[in-house]
Amino acid sequence: MPPSPAQSPTRVSRSGYIERGLSPDIRPLGSAFDIAQFEAMAQQLVADQRVPGLAMAVVHQGRVLSARGFGITDTRAPLPVDGHTVFRLASLSKAFAGTLTGLMVNDGTLRWDTRVTQYVPQFNLADHNAAQQLTVADVLSHRVGLSHNAFDRDLEGNADYVTLTQKLAYAPLKCAPGTCYSYQNIAFSLIGDVVQAAGGLPYGQAVQKRIFRPLGMNDASVGLEGILGSGNWARPHVRTRGGWLPMYPKPTYYRVAPAAGVNASASDMAQWLLAHTGHRPDVLPAPLLATLHQPLVETPTELRGSAWRRERLYGASYALGWRVYDYAGSQLVFHGGAVQGYRGVVALLPDRDLGIALMWNSESSLPSGMLPTMLDRAIGLSGREWLDIDLGNGDDTLFVNTPATNAPPRAHPQEAGTDVIKSTSAPQ
């Protein structure tokens, strides 16, 4: 169980979070860490529409080094992507769910060991006693006990969220709650029901009130209506024989908002990164950050897959809406996200006081190599080129085979053989 904020001061100091009186030893960035070069890389990626558009946010020691857009929002009605262009975040949304819950724990509305059935009494699992034991922390760390991505295919088939949560009562359990890891989207979104029942506000309104507004994330929203209501948003694109085809955003995973419902711009993500690197203690105090980023369950499958994982990761765990890796000896707090026509990554290096967010409006893997490139340069590693290597988000990635168009896209290279989702639409 995560410690209470009051129990975490030494962990805060070791992790490099900055708040009143703590003086952690922040290590300098490597000499090859060059924002101008990274922005040039991003510009090169959108040249000739190798990808339509990309947004990047980078913060270091409380300063925004970059919050820019590159390329275009829509290949058929092109407008430039800028720092306020909104992208769909897919599974990057999970960190917002963990953070919102943590704020409610801080103010005494919830506890990490609050039982889900206290606020969602109708919830059940195949083992009724197991359902009664499931806690808020279990949900946020994917320790529900269900099989991998339970009922995501049904969600993609247009089943509604309430029906799917009821079906969880008939799904086989692989372990008791709290004892093993298995990535979820539907079960993870039970936290939205808990938040609403405990706090009195619908999930989207609670995120707006407790996170977006206080942090100045002025472009951010939750849900399909949120992105459609933005005056400046990046359309999702799938690859067809004729090139990148803009799509209408798929609504299915917006129905599980805690798992995949947030939309945000580079400007928003810069503020989010500042908060999660400890520079907004008025909103997210350092002890809470240490709790949110504390590893709770090992995820060894994350050590496999793409080359940067095999070569750089020495440990992998899940915390509360975040993944936590040992990246070549440095702690990396991370999450990836993918849904039809959008992909993105967020990464924090606490010992460098560095935060990075990358988002793009296509299913291309081309931008994926930017993250390990930037991380290597931040910690002073050299000699490895990553830019043509797929990030391989593993559990966080849900790709589609059948967009709503008469021009079918080419299959994504990960669709065959991934144990995540090989279906019709998806976010992380």
Q: What is the mean pLDDT of the chain?
A: 87
Q: Which residue has the higher pLDDT, 317 or 25?
A: 317
Residue 164 located in a structural domain: yes
Residue 24 pLDDT: 57
Q: What is the DSSP secondary-structure string of 47-102?
A: GGGSSSEEEEEEEETTEEEEEEEEEBS-SSS--B--TT-BEE-GGGGHHHHHHHHH
Q: Which residue has the higher pLDDT, 203 or 417?
A: 203
Report the percent of the chain where pLDDT is more than 90. Answer: 81
- Across 26-30, 257-261, 305-309, least confident range: 305-309
Nearest CA-CA partner of 336 in 275, 271, 398, 403: 398
Residue 337 located in a structural domain: yes
Residue 25 located in a structural domain: yes
Which among 21-30, 211-220, 305-314 has the top mean pLDDT?
A: 211-220
4 pLDDT higher than 70: no
**Which residues lie across from 72 on neighbouring strands?**
80
Domain holding 322, by residue range, is: 5-423
342 pLDDT higher than 60: yes
Q: What is the chain's alpha carbon radius of gyration, rounded to the nearest angstrom?
A: 20
385 confidence band (pLDDT: 50, 70, 90): confident
CATH number of the domain that 228 lies in? 3.40.710.10
Residue 160 pLDDT: 96
Residue 106 located in a structural domain: yes
Q: Rounded distance, CA 125 to CA 140, Å?
A: 17
Q: With 0-12 CB in 10 A as exposed, 13-18 as middle and 19+ as buried, what is 182?
A: buried
Residue 203 located in a structural domain: yes
pLDDT, one tens digit per residue, over 56-109 is 999 999 999 999 999 999 999 999 999 999 999 999 999 999 999 999 999 999
Cα angle for residues 258, 424, 368 (degrees, 5° grid) = 70
pLDDT, one tens digit per residue, over 284-335 is 999 999 999 999 999 999 999 888 999 999 999 999 999 999 999 999 999 9
Residue 389 pLDDT: 36
**Which residues lie across from 263 on neighbouring strands?**
88, 221
Number of structural domains found in the chain:
1
Residue 397 pLDDT: 44
pTM above 0.85, yes or no: yes
Q: Rounded distance, CA 186 to CA 161, Å?
A: 7
Residue 428 located in a structural domain: no
416 confidence band (pLDDT: 50, 70, 90): very low
Residue 119 located in a structural domain: yes
Q: Rounded distance, CA 194 to CA 179, Å?
A: 21
Residue 85 pLDDT: 98
Nearest CA-CA partner of 297 in 407, 146, 141: 141
Residue 14 located in a structural domain: yes
Mean pLDDT of 175-179: 97
pLDDT, one tens digit per residue, over 343-364 is 999 999 999 999 999 999 999 9
Mean pLDDT of 242-264: 97
16 pLDDT higher than 70: no
Amino acid at 88: R
